[in-house]
A = this chain, B = another copy of it.
Amino acid sequence: MAPSRYVGLLAFVAASILPSGVLALWPIPTNLETGTTALTVSPSFYFDVQVEGAPADLYEAVDQAQYYLETDQLGRLVVGRGANDTAALASAKTLSCLQLSLTSSATVEPIASEAVKPLGTRSEEYELTIPADGSTATLTANSTLGLYRGLTTFNQLFYYYGGVTYTLLAPIAITDTPAYPFRGLALDTSRNYYPVTDILRTLDAMSWVKINTFHWHITDSQSFPLEVAQYPELAMNGAYSATEVYTESDIQYIVQYAGARGIDVLMEIDTPGHTAIIGATYPDYVACFDATPWATYANEPPAGQLRFALPEVMNFTASLLVDIANTLPSCYISTGGDELNTNCYVNDTLTQMQLNSTNTTLNDALSTFTQTTHNALIATGKTPVVWEEMVLDWNITLSNETIVMVWISSEDALAVVEKGFRIVQVPSNYFYLDCGGGGWLGDYPAGNSWCDPFKTWSEAYTFDPLANLTESQYSLVLGGQQALWSEQSGPQNLDPIVWPRAAASAEIFWSAQPGGTPLNVTEALPRLHDIRYRMVQRGLNPIQLQPQWCALRPDACDLTA
């Protein structure tokens, strides 16, 4: 097998000398060898699962792969969409079977079980071989999750024209392993609500590009759409309506659906800021509740933050977090911690009384609050995740195991890493999908997006996860993700604002091996077009990246063409 640095070169060569647009894999595998022989897929093609005691979700994954193979019907992105391939296909051999098997050392578990193991202990790698002579193709892995990733790649290998599904690149040999263990997508379902079907569709799309974490920012100051059995009033008083709620069974269904697609659900209950709506149920627990002018007390309306200094609020929050965490299989849960506004507490009588009576500072109260909530979570086996302010803006005690998400700027990663924490890269200046949508506050027509301009896929794609870090710090970078904050988004624009852009980070954190060949936007664009058109074929609504004229003519719409 070629060393990994050879791969970028091979991909580049393929894009140059082969019929353009044929190399459609996304994310690009670690090692890829292709030939130049046409091979068609037999109408009676089948997947042969040679896995003793294979779990149900592996069979479901195979059924899904079979469905995509039959229904993708994606024409190659060239003028004519594959009409010129007909001659080559006339004499092509036919592929009839892909055999799936696990390595001898593997333990047979459901995909969903492997998907929620601790970061760094999941096995996602696989090996896929497709001979040119029509003999059985093989897919092997160390886990069912690895087989699932391999099936995803297998589905991306084929085009369709005139009733025939085929590749022009046989034989194909792939070995593939992700560069980073955390490859996520964050979605805010509080500012605006998304029906369950939208989330399921998003999970499907995530799985197509091997994203393995759904960071679910489920609650915020605007609404609390999460049904919690022990605290039903939070959703009753805090959801936008009785139908705009994620019920306990919704959550379980989503978690199971995600797991079967190799996706871990990392839920975030943002505290102690971003919690105004809790005041609709527990007014005594929330300071500056709906106070005006809101801009004095919060980054956006409505104002309102937990009175974290109060023991009863600490206990309530710990209990709430634990109750939620206990319903989720993930090893991780985020307690948020961003944008805490101290003005909210300056004139808050209950907070000031508490601080005075205990001779405590706000900072120390926050530390106690965070230790209380985090220790409760750690006791249930969870590892807490927080936003960067918890380590950069406050002097509080956090477990070394805590994972820190960098969001304000890519420049902040170094400072967090220097404190010894593992990080997830969500830099707003590369990865915020909502930037560039204009200002949304009322009576402010001149207002622009706070994080202008729009982050194009290619801008996101140039993000270097290891920038400014020393080699010894590399291992602290767990991965990263793009994020959709929903002030101006909802089910109506979910697909086009997220896709295919969110595929940019998916490839960075799968394919950009530290020290390997850097990713290249020019090489990537035709492949991104390809996965986008495949997404359309599967019923998603990803935005057009360029005029179709450009999509059919790789490089013709480059700035320098």
Q: Which residues of A contact B (CB under 8 A)?
A: 81, 190-193, 221-223, 240-241, 292-295, 300-302, 436-449, 452-456, 458-459, 461-462, 486-493, 495-497, 521-522, 525, 536, 541-550, 552, 555-561
> Are A488 and B545 CB-contacts (below 8 A) given A458-B445, A558-B443?
yes
Q: Is the CB of A495 within 8 A of B492?
A: yes
Knowing A292-B561, A438-B459, the reply to whether A192 touches B525 (Cβ < 8 A) is no
Distance between Cα atoms of A452 and B191 in the complex (Å): 25
Q: Are B442 and A453 in contact (CB under 8 A)?
A: no
Interface pair B493/A557, CB less than 8 Å apart: no
Offer 24 A-B interface pairs, CB within 8 angstroms, sorted by A: A190-B547, A222-B549, A240-B552, A293-B560, A300-B557, A301-B550, A301-B556, A436-B438, A436-B454, A437-B454, A439-B458, A440-B557, A442-B458, A442-B546, A442-B550, A442-B561, A443-B521, A445-B458, A445-B521, A452-B452, A487-B544, A487-B547, A488-B544, A490-B548
- A42 to B11 Cα, complex, angstroms: 68
A545 to B454, CA, bound (A): 17
Closest to A526 in B: B442
Q: Which residues of B contact A223 (CB under 8 A)?
A: 547-549
In the A-B complex, list the 7 residue pairs whose CB atoms are closest, starting with the nearest. Answer: A493-B496, A438-B456, A442-B558, A445-B458, A222-B549, A492-B541, A191-B547
In the bound assembly, the distance between CA atoms of A193 and B548 in angstroms comes to 8
Compute how far the CA of A254 lies from the CA of B78 in the bound complex, rounded to whole angstroms: 30
Oligomeric state, in copies: 2
In the assembly, what is the distance between CA of A461 and CA of B447, in Å?
Answer: 13
The CA-CA distance from A292 to B455 in the complex, in Å, is 28
Contacts A301-B561, A445-B456 given; indicate if A490 touches B556 (C-beta within 8 A).
no
**A158, B268: Cα distance in complex, Å:** 39
> Are B442 and A559 touching (Cβ within 8 A)?
yes
A444–B222 touching, CB < 8 Å: no
Complex interface: chain B residues within 8 A of A440 (CB):
456, 545-546, 557
- Choice from B292, B456, B489 contacting A439 with Cβ under 8 Å: B456
Bound-state Cα–Cα, A547 to B299, Å: 14
Partner of A525, one of B442, B488, B543, B548: B442
List chain B residues, Cβ under 8 A from A525.
442-443
Could you say which residues of chain B place their CB within 8 Å of the CB of A454?
436-438, 448-449, 454
Closest residue of chain B to A485, judged by CB?
B547
* Interface contact B490-A441, CB-CB below 8 Å: no
A461 CA / B438 CA spacing, docked (Å): 14
Closest to A294 in B: B561
Known contacts A436-B438, A496-B492, A561-B442; is-contact A192 B547 (Cβ 8 Å) = yes
A504 nearest CB neighbor, chain B only = B445
Complex interface: chain B residues within 8 A of A486 (CB): 544, 547
Given the interface pairs A436-B454, A559-B295, the reply to whether A222 lies near B492 with Cβ below 8 Å is no
Most-contacted residue by chain B among A293, A497, A546 (CB, 10 A) = A546
List chain B residues, Cβ under 8 A from A547.
190-192, 222-223, 486-487
Decide: A543 near B453, CB < 8 A? Known: A444-B559, A557-B301: no
Query: How many angstroms from the CA of A487 to the CA of B546 in the assembled complex?
Result: 5
Contacts of A302 in B (CB 8 A): 549, 556
Residues on B with C-beta less than 8 A from A550 are 301, 442
How far apart are the CA atoms of A485 and B454 in the complex, in Å? 17
Pairwise interchain contact A536-B443, C-beta atoms closer than 8 A: no
Give Cα A536 to B193, complex, Å. Answer: 14
Other-chain contact of A555, B193, B442, B491, B556 (Cβ < 8 Å): B442
B542 near A492: Cβ-Cβ < 8 Å: yes
A549 to chain B, nearest CB (A): 4
Taking a contact as CB atoms under 8 Å apart, the answer to whether A541 and B292 are in contact is no
Contacts of A444 in B (CB 8 A): 458, 558-559
Let me know if A438 and B455 touch, CB within 8 A. yes
Partner among B190, B292, B441, B489 whose Cβ is within 8 Å of the Cβ of A544 = B489
Question: Which residues of chain B are near A462, meaning CB under 8 Å?
Answer: 445
In the bound complex, CA of A536 to CA of B195 (Å): 14
Bound-complex Cα distance A459 to B221 (A)? 27
Q: Are B445 and A490 in contact (CB under 8 A)?
A: no
Q: A492-B541, A492-B543 are in contact. List 7 more A-B contacts (CB 8 A).
A: A223-B547, A438-B455, A441-B559, A442-B458, A452-B452, A488-B545, A492-B536
Most B-side CB within 10 Å, residue of A221, A294, A547, A557? A547
**Closest Cβ neighbor of A292 among chain B residues:** B561
Closest to A221 in B: B549
Which of A449, A454, A543 has most chain B Cβ within 10 Å?
A: A454
Chain B residues within an 8 Å CB radius of A293: 560-561
Residues of chain B contacted by A561 (CB below 8 angstroms): 292-294, 301, 442
Cα–Cα distance between A16 and B192 once the two chains are bound (Å)? 26
Q: Is the CB of A443 within 8 A of B548?
A: no
- Bound-complex Cα distance A131 to B490 (A): 38
Contact call A449/B453, Cβ cutoff below 8 A: yes
Contacts A493-B543, A521-B443, A521-B445 hold; do A548 and B222 have CB atoms under 8 A apart?
A: yes
Nearest B residue to A487, CB-CB: B547
User: In the bound complex, what is the Cα–Cα distance between A458 and B444 (angstroms)?
Assistant: 8
Cα(A555)–Cα(B442), bound, Å: 7
- A453/B436 in contact, CB under 8 A: yes
A12 to B74, CA, bound (A): 54
